[in-house]
Structure 1
Amino acid sequence: MRALIVVHEHITEPGHVGERLAERGWDLTVLRVVSKERFHSPDVVFDFPEPQGWDMIVSMGAPWSVYDERTIGSWIGGEIALVRRAHELGIPVLGICFGAQVLATATGGFVEPAPRPEIGWTEIDSDDPAFVASGPWLEWHYDRCVPPPGAVELARTAVGPQAFRLGRSLGLQFHPEATTEMIRGWLFEGGADQCERHGVDPAALLDRTIALQDEAGERARALVDAFLDRVASV
């Protein structure tokens, strides 16, 4: 079983999600769109592969907006086309934060600015905690998904949907993959300033990440299992 994991920049990795997929026997290929050197000028030229031959597509998070054509217009259309074609072919797609927004856009939904950012460890309102646990989950986003017609919303906060299912695909607005090392990287690459602008203490965020690391990892493992057993295998 082969999974194509689309990583958008140099900090975010498959993390807890990738670890559990590998434990479940998946062969992971990581495709990185924007190099470290182009992080602040991400308008790179990138050719996405066709989805045939892969058994799953995973689209990870990113610090940009799906609709920001000026910043990532050189490649975002290619990723949306990849996810749309995979979904049409019945290839499971797991979209995480930015990846969930790609999934929504590719399947007839859309993305819009959220009424306020969500940054930090957050409890969510889940319709099925045995599938998508209530958390806390790591949030870090400024936009929100409007799921496509036919999607089933599984969880939410006051800001917007947090999980939706469409056929064999699952979109998650939060970050089950997040590790302490990733959060350190996000804070270093401008995230600390973002936190302070929005009233979040970056040191406290990192301390809570460290404290929750093992617990969050177990939640992520359970969520990956639920996706594989209840969504991707249907």
Structure 2
Amino acid sequence: MAALLPGRSHGCPGQHCSLRTEEPDPAAIISDSCSSVKPLARPVRTYIMGTMRRILIFQHVPHEILGSFDPMLREAGYRLRYLNFGRQPDAVPDISSYHGLVVLGGPMNCDQTARHPHLGVEVAAIRKAIDSGMPVLGICLGAQLIARALGARVTANPVKEIGWYDVTPTAAGLQDPLFRHFGGTRKIFQWHGDTFEIPAGAVHLASSSACSNQAFRYGDNVYALQFHLEVDEALISRWLHTPVMAREIDCLGPGFAPARIQAETGTHINESLELGRSVFGEYLRIFHSRPRRIALSSRHPALPGQDRRP
């Protein structure tokens, strides 16, 4: 496998600069519209020891993107690096120069490592990121890969969830910094056929009637979301017209008709975008407040299922 070298960091001018610029409250950059962000009086950049904070994003297919979370991160001054494993299947990511990791969705299953060997590489990188204390966010397949990295099983859900479904926070979810914004049951967009177990030591945050494990938190900065709070109306329309995704719903019957999903999108999307801004705004604070640290394996406690004995 070809090693993927970290990109060049953008520090501040000068050889000996160790500067932290003035930083706004990350939530303050969120606008009333998810498709745009309020312009700031001057460009904001987030630095640690002269190096701009960088987020690595594991992408699997071109049509699964960060959606509404992308402009929020950029406007807050983060440099984003997308690694598309569909285009670079042999890449071995070096996470050491990044301050956060986001793992996006995709059409493959976690156990398809023979067909998609990069899935095993991703699980190893996610485990390393969690070991190091790095903030990690997983969406859909990304959430399942986090669960796998933490030793939990990923299996087929009894039914597929494609479209808009009620998602309800657990009692613990209502106390969580991100999920408290739900306030109760909310209509959330879904597109998945698999589900994860809640890993040992993790906190179960949300459920639906068709899929009991919709989200979990591990520690205080690793979040796994089975659903899609990042989508806007244009992205959902793009998915419905992407051939591989259109073929999937064509096989599922009238309850999954694209026209029905689009109609429901018109009803629920604004509330979903508002909720997404609140939830991702909270997670942006986690990215903002966490300096990256790389832990020595000999001193870091083992994750569930991990044996540190010689």
TM-score (norm: length of structure 1): 0.88
Distance 1:187 1:230 in 2: 33
Q: Which amino acid aligns with 2:79?
A: D
In the other structure, the counterpart of 1:90 is 133
Residue among 95, 107, 117 paired with 1:51:
95
**Among the aligned pairs, what percent are the same residue?**
31
Q: Which amino acid aligns with 1:179?
A: D
Deviation at 1:19, TM superposition (A): 2.1
Greater share of helix: 1
Distance 1:31 1:184 in 2: 24
Distance 1:213 1:46 in 2: 37
The answer to whether 1:116 aligns with 2:159 is: yes
Distance 1:200 1:230 in 2: 36
Instruction: Give 1:179-190 correspondences, 5 Å limit.
Output: 179-188=232-241, 189-190=243-244
Residue among 65, 77, 90 paired with 1:13:
65
Distance 2:215 2:288 in 1: 15
Distance 2:199 2:287 in 1: 17
In the other structure, the counterpart of 2:227 is 174
In the other structure, the counterpart of 1:153 is 204
The answer to whether 1:76 aligns with 2:127 is: no
Q: Which amino acid aligns with 1:23?
A: E
Cα distance change of structure 1 residues 71 and 182 upon mapping to structure 2, 3 Å threshold:
farther
Q: Aligned to 1:116, what secondary structure does the other structure show? A: strand
Gaps of 5+ in 1: 36-43
Deviation at 1:207, TM superposition (A): 2.8
Cα distance change of structure 1 residues 46 and 209 upon mapping to structure 2, 3 Å threshold:
farther
1:160-188 Cα offsets, whole Å, 9 max, x none, are: 21110001200000011122232223222
Distance 2:124 2:114 in 1: 18
In the other structure, the counterpart of 2:247 is 193
1:188-218 Cα offsets, whole Å, 9 max, x none, are: 2232332243231111212322443333222
Distance 2:268 2:65 in 1: 18
Q: Which amino acid aligns with 2:95?
A: P
Residue among 147, 161, 164 paired with 1:104:
147
Q: Aligned to 2:101, what secondary structure does the other structure show? A: strand
In the other structure, the counterpart of 1:217 is 273
Distance 1:149 1:61 in 2: 23
1:19-38 Cα offsets, whole Å, 9 max, x none, are: 22223332211111114xxx
1:30-58 Cα offsets, whole Å, 9 max, x none, are: 111114xxxxxxxx632132211111000
Q: Which amino acid aligns with 1:202?
A: P
Deviation at 1:105, TM superposition (A): 0.4
Cα distance change of structure 1 residues 20 and 142 upon mapping to structure 2, 3 Å threshold:
same
Q: Which amino acid aligns with 1:122?
A: Y
The answer to whether 1:32 aligns with 2:84 is: yes
In the other structure, the counterpart of 2:178 is 131
Query: Is contact 1:155–1:164 with CA below 8 Å preserved after alignment?
Result: yes
Distance 1:65 1:174 in 2: 16
Query: Is contact 2:168–2:186 with CA below 8 Å preserved after alignment?
Result: no
Cα distance change of structure 1 residues 212 and 157 upon mapping to structure 2, 3 Å threshold:
closer
Larger radius of gyration: 2
Query: Is contact 1:118–1:140 with CA below 8 Å preserved after alignment?
Result: yes
Gaps of 5+ in 2: 1-52, 291-310
Aligned residues: 225
Which is worse superposed, 196-205 or 109-118?
Answer: 196-205
In the other structure, the counterpart of 1:40 is none
TM-score (norm: length of structure 2): 0.67
